[in-house]
Amino acid sequence: MIELVAGTTDTSAAARIMTTVRRWIVIEPEAIEHSRATIPMFRDWLALLDGDPVGAGSCSLNLGMEEDTAAFAVACVLDQVRGRGVGTALYGQLSTHARSLGKSELMTWGYEDDAGGVAFAERHGFVVVTRKPALRLVLDDCPRPTVDLPEDVVITTLAETPELVQGVWETASEAMPDIPYYTVPMSAGPLEEFAARSFAGPRFIPEATFVAVREGEVLGYAQLTWMSRAAGIADHAMLAVRRAWRGRGIAKALKARQIMWALDNGLTELRTGNDERNASARAVNANFAYTPLPDQVGYRGPLLASESRRSATGRSRVIPEHGRNEHPA
């Protein structure tokens, strides 16, 4: 029997499953709670197989691309129970939520070396629309970089100068649409939402959110966020330089500053990844000793049709957040 339990029942199990399946992305329970609180229309489900948690999925508006015809979904099923209908049950539920948001497709992602994930995507008509070569920087023995800045440019942090958040948001608003995209360019959204999502919550590290400034004006910023504070792993969440200031080494200096911070604070590893079409971001990374991880592939595909859903999920049921009932999935 497959049961899909909505929401908050066992967030630790959902985080554990997602981390096991994703391998190179650590997802902590607090990060899922932050997503529930800040991502528009975010819903998540834990999948139980005969009572055991074995899968987890979520679906929301596509963050920063809310007007896209696709919702953003994640579905993870542990290797040892694949092929028993759990993924299809999750896919059905994520499709139902996407439909309720007025969306007609799903955007999702996986690693190219996850054979089950690739097969599932192909079988359901998903196509690869983006590819992101993922990278890691192991900090043990990592050379200490130097920070070279253009004249009059200094680097500070949001911990030291939180009032720079407005200029950081303006920079993000200018840079996000320049990130290679598939259908709809990314946008930072309104300042309050951007700040609540990016500069709050368990992953935010104000002292590792570096800002390049010249005479009080924000020229660029680079944000490290926690993937796992306990394991000392952080993620390069965003790197952005205002258009007028690109090509002068500011991004390289910001990244060098992040690596220095990570070395000084005993971190073990940094992770990153940029779309294969993002030549400038990849050129910045090439200055440092990153080594490759499997590529992340972005998929786009149809919602599961209601009739396929009924036959595929005949043995499953959905349990809403408050109490149990017997609605079939």
Ligand X SMILES: CC(C)(COP(=O)(O)OP(=O)(O)OC[C@H]1O[C@@H](n2cnc3c(N)ncnc32)[C@H](O)[C@@H]1OP(=O)(O)O)[C@@H](O)C(=O)NCCC(=O)NCCS
Q: Return the range that interacts with ligand X (CB under 6 A); candidates 59-67, 68-76, 79-87, 241-249.
A: 241-249
Q: Return the range that interacts with ligand X (CB under 6 A); candidates 129-137, 246-254, 292-300, 316-324.
A: 246-254
CB 21 within 8 A of CB 77: yes
Smallest distance, ligand X to C-beta of residue 87, A: 30
Q: Return the range that interacts with ligand X (CB under 6 A); candidates 76-84, 275-283, 305-313, 319-327.
A: 275-283
Angle, vertex CA 175, rays to CA 172 and CA 178, nearest 5: 145
Q: Using the rule CB under 6 A, is 12 a contact of ligand X?
A: no
Q: Using the rule CB under 6 A, is 284 a contact of ligand X?
A: yes
Give DSSP secondary structure letters for 18-79: HHHHHSSS---HHHHHHHHHHSTT-EEEEEEETTEEEEEEEEEE-TT-TTSSEEEEEEEE-G
Q: Using the rule CB under 6 A, is 84 a contact of ligand X?
A: no
Q: Using the rule CB under 6 A, is 256 a contact of ligand X?
A: no
CA distances, 35 to each of 110, 192, 312 (Å): 19, 16, 29
Q: Of 150 and 328, which has the nearer Cβ to ligand X?
A: 150
Q: Return the range that interacts with ligand X (CB under 6 A); candidates 201-209, 243-251, 295-303, 317-325.
A: 243-251
Q: Which of 231, 230, 289 is nearest to 255 (CA)?
A: 289
154-183 positions binding ligand X, by CB under 6 A: 175, 178-179
103-162 positions binding ligand X, by CB under 6 A: none
What span, in angstroms and rounded, lies between the C-alpha atoms of 318 and 316?
7
Q: Of 17 and 250, which has the nearer Cβ to ligand X?
A: 250
323 φ, ψ (degrees, to nearest 5) = 85, 175
Q: Return the range that interacts with ligand X (CB under 6 A); candidates 71-79, 84-92, 100-108, 249-257.
A: 249-257
What span, in angstroms and rounded, lies between the C-alpha atoms of 211 and 89?
44
Q: Using the rule CB under 6 A, is 229 a contact of ligand X?
A: no
Q: Of 188 and 319, which has the nearer Cβ to ligand X?
A: 188
Quick one: DSSP state of residue 328? Answer: B
Helix, strand, or coil here: 274?
Answer: coil
Taking CB under 6 A as the criterion, the residue among 51, 102, 247, 266 binding ligand X is: 247
Instruction: List residues bridging with 223 in a β-sheet.
Output: 209, 238
Q: Using the rule CB under 6 A, is 308 a contact of ligand X?
A: no
Q: Of 150 and 302, which has the nearer Cβ to ligand X?
A: 150
Smallest distance, ligand X to C-beta of residue 250, A: 4
Q: Using the rule CB under 6 A, is 252 a contact of ligand X?
A: yes
Q: Using the rule CB under 6 A, is 223 a contact of ligand X?
A: no
Q: Return the range that interacts with ligand X (CB under 6 A); candidates 86-94, 99-107, 262-270, 280-288.
A: 280-288
How many residues make contact with ligand X (CB under 6 A)? 22
Q: Of 251 and 312, which has the nearer Cβ to ligand X?
A: 251
Q: Which of 130, 157, 186, 190 is nearest to 264 (CA)?
A: 157
Q: Using the rule CB under 6 A, is 305 a contact of ligand X?
A: no
Q: Using the rule CB under 6 A, is 285 a contact of ligand X?
A: no
What span, in angstroms and rounded, lies between the C-alpha atoms of 277 and 280?
9
Taking CB under 6 A as the criterion, the residue among 246, 260, 263, 268 binding ligand X is: 246
What span, in angstroms and rounded, lies between the C-alpha atoms of 30 and 257?
27
In the sheet with 291-292, reading across from the earlier edge strand, the strands are 153-157, 204-214, 217-228, 233-241, 269-273, 134-138, 291-292
25-54 positions binding ligand X, by CB under 6 A: none
Radius of gyration for the chain, computed over Cα atoms and rounded to the nearest angstrom: 21
Residues that bind ligand X (CB under 6 A): 175, 178-179, 238-241, 246-252, 274, 278-281, 283-284, 287
